[in-house]
Amino acid sequence: LGSANPRPVTPSTLFNIFSVGKAYLTIGILRLVQDGKVRLDEPVATYWPEFGKKDITVRHVLSHQSGLANAMPREGTLDTMLDWNGMKKFMETTDAEHPAGQQTKYHYLSFAWLCGGIIEAVTKQPYDQYLKSILTQSDGDDVLHLHTGGLPEEIESDALAVLSIVRSDLEGSMDAAAEAAKREKMEKMKQLKAKQEAQSKEIESVESKDDKKEGEEHKQVLQKYKGREQLMNPSVFNMRKVRDAKLPSANMHASASSLAKVMDDIITKEHALTTDTIAMAQKQQGEVQGAENALLDDSSAFFGLGFQVHEFEHEGRKVFSFGHAGLGGSLVICIPDAKLSVAFTTNQLSQNPATRNTLLKIVFEEFNLKAPDSVLR
């Protein structure tokens, strides 16, 4: 598990999978669509009456086009972000930053509260209980090591992979592909810096207001970014209270085998979702533009309905995958035409996950797949 966690990995070792969890939230919404309980182009408020934005549809939520990508309470702290019911209520009343459908901006955290809120409003049960009911095979003997609603109390710390950040030396000899990847990462960092500068301007703007209001408003702006920026620091996800919280867009815990098994059951047994539902979900909905790319791993993939989709070549044909990548290298990717589901989990977070890419290349070659650069970056 690495220097910060010098123990061997076991089949039940649990890894924080970050945004990979969005794929499993997506399965929950798509199952409701498949069962006729939800329609993609109906307003979210049809199913969640307290959600006061009539122009935002279920499709907008799944395709990251709702306008709520950066929706955070002004007074938001880390504890605020970890309050599941509190954040659902905030989603109900907050305003969108742009009209629904006009822009695609990656909903790095808010995807959890939006999708989870829809699931709970429709099913009248906690979203994690619903996901467990549709993802678990009733006739299977295998234990599914996938926790979608925070860690249960009985999970001991020695079952968890401690997160660490790999600070690789990127200097030295690199081939052309590596150089291109480095340039792409540098551009992402520039975009993120521009976003941070915009945040600084917001903080500075409150200082120009009258003295009576300045203190409280300045404090609220600082708190807003404090809570969000804490969740942008991967080491915060080692905290037990963060692991235990419901934040399924960023803190599901799983083993790689369980992630892959769920996807394999879908494409080989049509468990949870049918072939037709997956084909519908693979159709392109939008591409993330601008600084939001800096918060999205695999930003060169396009969005289907909730899933990230890549274009592969398989036996001379163009085929498409579905799945999602997560911060630091974790990934689940499923290619129905090749009957392949593969997952990679890691606690040693890296911008350039060389070990993952080496393993993926071996798997793809075995299945006669030519992978795009958007996967093997």
In a domain, 214, yes or no: no
- Tens of pLDDT, residue by residue over 126-166, are 999 999 999 987 555 567 899 999 999 999 998 999 998 88
In a domain, 273, yes or no: yes
104 neighbors 301 (Cβ within 8 angstroms): no
Query: Can you tell me the distance from the alpha carbon of 333 to that of 22, in angstroms, rounded to the nearest whole number?
Result: 12
Whole-number pLDDT of residue 136? 87
Looking up residue 107, the CATH number of its domain turns out to be: 3.40.710.10
In a domain, 315, yes or no: yes
Q: Compute the C-alpha angle 289/324/123, nearest 5°.
A: 105
The first and second tokens of residue 211, run together, are 């003295």
292 neighbors 309 (Cβ within 8 angstroms): no
- Of the candidates 353, 331, 282, the residue with the CA atom closest to the CA atom of residue 19: 331
In a domain, 205, yes or no: no
Average pLDDT (59-69) is 97
The first and second tokens of residue 45, run together, are 């408020």
Whole-number pLDDT of residue 176? 40
- Distances from the Cα of 77 to the Cαs of 201, 219, 377, in angstroms? 20, 11, 34
As for how many domains the chain has, the answer is 1
Residue-averaged pLDDT of the chain: 84
- Tens of pLDDT, residue by residue over 186-222, are 565 565 556 555 554 554 454 344 444 545 554 554 4
In a domain, 195, yes or no: no
Average pLDDT (284-306) is 67
In a domain, 222, yes or no: no
In a domain, 193, yes or no: no
40 neighbors 87 (Cβ within 8 angstroms): no
- Give me the percent of the chain exceeding a pLDDT of 70: 77
Domain holding 253, by residue range, is: 15-153+246-375
Split at pLDDT 50, 70, 90, the class of 75 is confident
In a domain, 233, yes or no: no
